[in-house]
Every structure is written in C-alpha cells, then in structure tokens.
Amino acid sequence: MRSGMLLAALTALFMAMGYMIGGPDGMLIALIIAIAMNLFSYWKSDSLVPSMHGAQEVNDRTAPEFVGLVRELATHPSTENRIAALEEIAASMGGGVGSPRLRRSGWRG
C-alpha cells in the first residue's frame, strides 16, 4: 500500500513538472513516461536489483557450503515459528522486516 502511494505521489510530481515545462501536452507526456517507468519497475525489479548488486545464482556444485547452510536453515523445525514471530513483531511495530523501527529496537532475530 505504501509503495503504491509512493508511486502515485511520484507520478503526480512528475506530471506537475511536465505541466510546468510543457503545459498540458508536457503533462500528458510525463504521464506516459511515468506509466512506462512504473510498469518496467513492476515487471523487471526482480531481476534488475540482483543484477545491480552482481548477484549470481549458485548450486550444489558452485557453492556447496552455502547451499547446504540455506537448506539446513530452511528445514530447521523452528524456522516457521521464527518467521511468524518476526512478522508479528514487525506488524506490531508498524513496519516491515527492514524497517528502521525494527532496527532501532535492537531486535536481533
């Protein structure tokens, strides 16, 4: 919800700037560009962000210790309980897992 509101606000700002620069036609062009950028970010963000950070896909052959660690953590019996507790704590603090409120609280997980 917050992301959608942020995108809407940025689109409105972009349109206002387009109106100041080019009048009604500039506003329409800015709207078209904003819609294109929003659609691109919606459809490509899952691959764009990892590529920006140089992320690489790993498997048992390329990084066996990492894959083993992830597999072990994923099958640990308390994993589901910890995830549920983390989501509950984050929701009660009014933010997501990476929110500044959660980091300031000193919660280490």
The whole-number pLDDT of residue 75 equals 78
Where do the domains of the chain lie?
1-55, 58-109
pTM of the model: 0.51
More confident residue, 103 or 28: 28
Q: Which residues contact 29 (CB under 8 A, 6 or more apart)?
A: 18, 22
The whole-number pLDDT of residue 102 equals 43
How many Å apart are CA 68 and CA 50, to the nearest integer? Answer: 21
List, for residues 74-86, the tens digit of each pLDDT value.
Answer: 777 665 556 666 6
Confidence of residue 10 (pLDDT cuts 50, 70, 90): very high
The whole-number pLDDT of residue 35 equals 94
